[in-house]
Structure 1
Amino acid sequence: MAADHFSLFSVLLWSIWQHRNNKLWRNEVESVNVVCDRGINLLTGWNQAQEMKQKQSRIQPTIAGTRWSKPSIGRYKCNIDASFSTILNKVGIGVCVRDDQGSFVLAKTEWFSPIMNVDIGEALGLLHAMKWIQDLQLEHVDFELDSQIVVTKFHSKNRDESELGDIIKDCRTMFNTHFRNSRVEYIRRQANEVAHVLAREATSLASFHIFIDVPLCIRDIIMNEME
């Protein structure tokens, strides 16, 4: 099966699964056209997001904010990113924690299936990162991700009844309940390279991983960003 056909098949399966959930939990009945359009719109959005990331990765960081920076003294920085593989039908999540010296503390990779909307995948990455950091009982944490939509919605006071809105609400609840003197911030793609590489790596792994030593795939990036 050609890659583009497999991608279309994957998103249609996801849309059928979404249709099943809407019928089961919301008693909503959708037409075949609605189910197909949702899958096609997801694939179109995903392709556009990948094209944008590729363009951004080719642009040299020539303006402020395009390089990762250490947190202030006494704080931790938690970088988060999501990667989307239509071939594997997976969403990979990469999370990396560093201290105020820029030194590696811990990293984690995990993945979800089937593939989903880009913003939902990014928001789930933030939620799962918060749950992990809370389990580690860390405070004074700067959560950074390169999804401006997710960060904007996290700080917004507007009511959002969508699936994305529900996940953001869970993020806010987790944040307000467990984190003191912490923040959620948007950064440019170039300043989130470690999490991006981990997220891509996540989709190729059979299971979730917690790294207590610097993974080989991000070792050079960590060293360069400590300079």
Structure 2
Amino acid sequence: MSLIQKFSAVEAVMQFHHSTSARPLPLEEVIARVLKLSGLRIAQQTVEEILEVYPDAYKLEQARTNWLLSTCELPLRLKERANKFATLIGARSLPSPPPTPMKPTRRIVGKAPSRVIKGTVKRYTASIPKTGDILTRIRMKEEALKRASDPLVKRQQREKFLIAQLPGISAVLHSLSTMRSSFSMSELIDRVSTSVKTRLSPSEISEAIELLSKSQPDFCSLVDSGNLKVVRLTCTAY
């Protein structure tokens, strides 16, 4: 798993945390939440590697026996920070191109032959078709189409997309919790759809809130009241 993906997972956790609190988050809890929300395993060394590439991303400090992690920029500008990290890590890993050797030039002194005998020089302008490469590309395309149509892959891709939306949705829910503690799902769908930047369908918002309630039950919970689905906002997870 690339360091960029791990950085994105940590970013999502920290954005989620700072939507409700400005306090540093224990590193052990960051590691646990990254595993719970994205399925990625990270360690303190991972955070240190991120800081080596992007020193201004976080502040890692030791408090007694615990390590605490906080962000240096609030509110987080996720897209800008992600682009900056990708640029920094790309600059570190990109090798400098070797110098192009200069080919020696030969100067032929004398007159060129005035007569060319037909048939003595043959030029093959048509290149041999790379049938192997074409077949490989066709097979790769067919395999990609099969994977894309696999229900399990579709479900994993959708869940990954929804996890990426949780920080923005949680920020909206937190602001709504100051008004009252419970909302109908349909009302929350309307509020979220007009508050987040990404255009989400009602089903995507509903699934994201359900995913949030399962991963962070102390933040929000779902209650079925007859045919009405109610979301209770506690927002005490942080």
Please, what TM-score do these two structures have when normalized by structure 2? 0.24
Bigger strand share: 1
Higher-Rg structure is 2
